[in-house]
Each structure stands twice: as structure tokens, then as C-alpha cells.
Amino acid sequence: MTGFVVRRVAAGAALALVISMLSYTLLSIPHIDVARQLLGQGAAQELVDAKNAALGLDRPALVQYLDWLAAAVRGDFGTSWFTSENVLRAIANRLPVTLSLMAGVTLVTALLSLLLGLWAGVRRGRVDRFVQILAVTGYALPGFLVTLVMVWLFAVELGWFPAIGYIGLEESFTGWLSTVTLPILALSVGSVAGVAQQVRGSVIDVLRQDYVRTLRARGLPPRRIILRHVLRNAAAPALSVLGMQFVGLLGGAVLVEQIFGLPGIGSMTVGYTTRGDIPIIMALVMISVIGVIVINLLVDILIGWLNPKARLR
């Protein structure tokens, strides 16, 4: 297992390096005049040129990238060109918001989809059809519509939750819970629908296996068969989907963060990318890459733990 983890971490580091290079190359294609955006349309060209020089944009892209890489390796990601904030501090301020959403959605998705999937897979018949309709509906509903309706109903009309803003966990647990509940529920609708279908399918497959029939023939209680044997084997594919959804949530969080006015890194990524704020974008890319690598590694380890046959040597 240690060797596996070391190999995956090394592969991850190589991947991060390649992606950083590709990202910087794409960002360096001069389609955005950063200095002119900063100085305004009316700025004289010599001022724009001076600003470009001050930002280091007058140098070849390769030199800029190597400088960035050398600083990044030392943990220095610089300051935002557009807000002058320290990049790491800016991201550290926003990361807990998005992580709260991602963790919350993953938890809600894991619990609900497991329950719904198991219920449908084991009971079949009308229950199965009901869960399937529920899942298809949840999947088909546009995310923005679900979010807008939730804000309107539970925040604006009923006043149960705040409509906007985020309160840090360190500030107040109840405050944090109140600000993330609606966004988590809004994001969970689609993901529960997807994972529940996956769990249902896996449960049905496992229930058809010979060893389950054998266990039944040996007289093991149905509850024990489901919880100890079926669930364990059916969970692996669902876990893979859940892992992918967790990573994908970074993109999905953008809309929810915008509608709820949450200062997370989803909306930050969109805002700073359209402006061409390279220091911020590169740091966000690196964090995303590291996140993907870590999540995939964790999912592989968990799957190995659940199913010894899947363990890699």
C-alpha cells in the first residue's frame, strides 16, 4: 500500500507540473490586455507599457512561467493583479466556503443515495419505480431553477435561512449551518439522483450473485446479508461516482455561490479568469489539481478497504 501511495503521489506531482505548464501557456496567449484593463481605456500607451513591464508581462512566456514556478515551489504565489491581495490569503479566505459546500453535498449525497439506492434495489417493484422517478426528476431539474426556488421559498418568503452570505465555522457553528444548508441542499438534488441510481444498479447486481444466494441458503438474516455483504460490494462503484462528483462540484458550485452571494473559490475562479489575473488563476489551478489527486487517491484506498479484491499491490 505504501508503494502504491508513493507512486500515485509521484504521478500526481508530474501531472501537476504538466498542467501548470499548459495552464500558464494558455493564459499567456495575449487575448486579454491586463494592463489596459487595470488602467482603463483612456490610459496612454506608455503607461500601459510601463504597467505591463511592472507585472513582468513584457518578458517571454517561458521566463514568466519559470519565475512563477520557482516562486510557487517556495510557497510564494504572489499577489492578485486586480485586488492586490496576497494570493494564498485570498484563497485561504474563500476555500472554507467551497469546501463546506463540497463536504456537505458529499455527505448528504452519500447518505441519501445509499438509503434510496438500497431501498429501491432491495424492495424493487413500486418502491423501485418511485425512487427511479424521483431520481430522474432530480437529475432533470435545472440546477439554477432548484437554487432560485429554494432561495425564494426558504429564505425570502419564509425567512428560515439567510438568502446571502457565509458565516465561518470558527465564528459560529449555528451560523455556519444556517448559511450552508440551502446551498448544500440545492447542490445535492442532482448528485443524490445520480449516485442513488448507481447504488440501486450495483445492489441489484450484487443481489444476483451466487454468493448472496449461498448466504441466504445458509440462513443468514437478510439484514446482515444486506449490510455486511451486499452494501460492501455495491458501495465501490458508487464511491467512484461520488469521488468524481466531489471533484466536479468545484464547477457546479459556481452558480450556487453566485446566487447565494457566497465568497467561495467557484465564483472566484470565474471572476478572476475573465480578468486574466494569472497569479490567482494559477494558484486555483494548482489547488484544483492537488484536490483531484488527493480525492482520487482517497477513493482508491477506500475502495481497496471495502473490497480486498480491488487492492493494488
Out of 15, 21, 33, 128, the residue judged to bind another protein by CB under 8 A: 33
Out of 192, 203, 275, 282, the residue judged to bind another protein by CB under 8 A: 275
Out of 162, 201, 237, 304, the residue judged to bind another protein by CB under 8 A: 162
Binding region for another protein (CB under 8 A) out of 41-49, 57-65, 224-232, 304-312: 41-49
Residue 35 C-alpha cell reads as 494592463
Q: How far is the CB of 85 from another protein (least distance, A)?
A: 4
Binding region for another protein (CB under 8 A) out of 31-39, 66-74, 202-210, 236-244: 31-39
- CA distances 148 to 82, 140, 144, 186, Å, are 30, 16, 6, 9
DSSP letter for 79, please: B
CA–CA dist 153, 191 (Å, integer): 21
Closer residue to another protein (CB): 119 or 202:
119
Binding region for another protein (CB under 8 A) out of 30-38, 100-108, 110-118, 195-203: 30-38
Contact assessment for residue 259 and residue 147, using Cβ atoms and an 8 Å cutoff: yes
Supply φ then ψ for residue 86, to 5 degrees.
-60, 130
Out of 36, 59, 124, 229, the residue judged to bind another protein by CB under 8 A: 36
Q: How far is the CB of 47 from another protein (least distance, A)?
A: 4
CA–CA dist 232, 306 (Å, integer): 6
- Which are the contacts of 233, defined by CB distance < 8 A and separation ≥ 6? 202, 206, 209, 306, 307
Q: Does 187 bind another protein (CB under 8 A)?
A: no
CA–CA dist 92, 69 (Å, integer): 20
Binding region for another protein (CB under 8 A) out of 3-11, 80-88, 111-119, 234-242: 80-88
Q: How far is the CB of 312 from another protein (least distance, A)?
A: 41
Closer residue to another protein (CB): 81 or 246:
81
Q: In terms of Cα–Cα distance, which of 251, 261, 254 is closest to 155?
A: 261
The 3-state DSSP class for residue 86 equals strand
Q: How far is the CB of 185 from another protein (least distance, A)?
A: 8
Q: Does 39 bind another protein (CB under 8 A)?
A: yes
User: Interface residues for another protein in 254-273 (CB under 8 A)?
Assistant: 258-261, 263, 267-268, 270-271
CA–CA dist 279, 85 (Å, integer): 10
Q: In terms of Cα–Cα distance, which of 69, 72, 38, 74 is closest to 55?
A: 38
CA–CA dist 213, 207 (Å, integer): 8
Q: How far is the CB of 10 from another protein (least distance, A)?
A: 35
Contact assessment for residue 108 and residue 180, using Cβ atoms and an 8 Å cutoff: no
Applying CB under 8 A, the residues found at the interface with another protein are 30-33, 36-45, 47, 50-51, 79-85, 90, 93-94, 148, 151, 154-156, 158-165, 167, 171-172, 174-175, 177-179, 181, 258-261, 263, 267-268, 270-271, 274-276
